[in-house]
Amino acid sequence: MPKRLVTVGDLVVDLLLEVRLPVVSEAHQTSPGLLIEPGGACTTLLTARGLGLEAAALGTVGDDLQGRMLLDILAEADIDISALLVLAGGTTTTVISLSDRQGPAHVFLGHYGESPPIEFTAAAAGQLDGANAVFIPGYTLVEERLKPLVAAVLRYMESNAAPLYVDVGPFLGQLEQAGVEEVLRAADVLILTDDEIRFVTAGESDIDACRRLLEVYPDLRIVLKRGAAGCHLLGRELDLACPGFRADVVDTIGAGDAFAAAFIWAELQGYSPAECGTIGNAMGAASVAKAGAGRNAPTRAEAQRVLDTYRTGIKLT
């Protein structure tokens, strides 16, 4: 029976424009490319679904054009949206992504959707009870209307057997220390980059700070994403570098979301830690080789080609 992943929040629409950065006032540009796709946790859901996981979304989308688009795309991919809340008058979080492929570099211009607070419902509890893994992107933790839902999910997961994966993200630094500690107590796995270490270690910023964090939270595991260099896995009796793969980078948007989906999928299938890191790296490499996220997220076949090209011997079965 397929394993089931539930994501919490960060359901956004990405409007991706290819530009030359920096964008300068009065210097008009015409973009050679335009994509409108689901972003954030939608990319994680779609990647996970493509790998064969069942997938469900908690949170909210707006009662607007963007929200209807997201609901249609997720439903078409057979992602469970039955517990998503769509409140009258609510709006959908929308991100304009400016991508310079010559860099490559990108700039995000985002607007959080607005609605009354999103509460924890019986339907949400049912989704968590049926999950084999739960994933919270860091953006979710700072979205104002999602605070009641997130707080309830963190409490609920304390007695739930499913592992909780938290992708720290660039905005977790906006949380007060008490909020960071609440996340660390609830999480089973932290996924983060070198730039984000300081958000969970009171300002320290190297891998040794992660090792010291594990002395305080010994049951925690850390997945440190390092782009083309791969990732580093830390945990109880685990300190392992997983090399990355060379890729001709087109666009890095969504690569972290796709990595998370592949890493979680691999753990749920029982691959070894080294294989899980390698599979996540392969999906990340496949992601940056194409533009955009959402329905353009890398497929199982594309990740397998990376694994085969580098003769890893790993099969995504």
**pTM to 2 decimal places:** 0.95
pLDDT band at 103 (very low <50, low <70, confident <90, very high): confident
Walk me through the domains of the chain, giving residue ranges and CATH numbers: 4-309 (3.40.1190.20)
114-129 pLDDT, tens per residue?
Answer: 999 999 999 999 999 9
User: CA-to-CA distance for 289 and 202, rounded, in angstroms?
Assistant: 35
What per-residue confidence (pLDDT) applies to 144?
A: 93
What per-residue confidence (pLDDT) applies to 18?
A: 86
Asked if residue 197 has pLDDT above 90, the reply is yes
What per-residue confidence (pLDDT) applies to 46?
A: 97
22-68 pLDDT, tens per residue?
Answer: 888 888 989 888 889 999 999 999 999 999 999 999 999 999 999 99
The whole-number average pLDDT for the span 101-111 is: 82
Where would I find the beta strands (DSSP E) of the chain? 4-8, 11-18, 34-40, 54-58, 93-100, 105-111, 133-137, 164-167, 189-193, 221-225, 231-235, 238-242
User: CA-to-CA distance for 51 and 128, rounded, in angstroms?
Assistant: 20
Asked if residue 141 has pLDDT above 80, the reply is yes
Helix (H, G, I), strand (E, B) or coil at 64: coil
Half-sphere exposure in the Cβ direction for 243 (13 Å, CA): 7
Asked if residue 262 has pLDDT above 90, the reply is yes
Asked if residue 101 has pLDDT above 80, the reply is no
What per-residue confidence (pLDDT) applies to 201?
A: 92
Lowest mean pLDDT among 165-179, 185-199, 211-225: 165-179
Contact 165, 135 (CB under 8 A): yes
224-235 pLDDT, tens per residue?
Answer: 999 999 999 999
The whole-number average pLDDT for the span 98-120 is: 87
242-251 pLDDT, tens per residue?
Answer: 999 999 888 8
- What mean pLDDT value characterizes the chain? 93
What per-residue confidence (pLDDT) applies to 176?
A: 86
The whole-number average pLDDT for the span 148-157 is: 95
User: CA-to-CA distance for 273 and 285, rounded, in angstroms?
Assistant: 18
What per-residue confidence (pLDDT) applies to 40?
A: 93
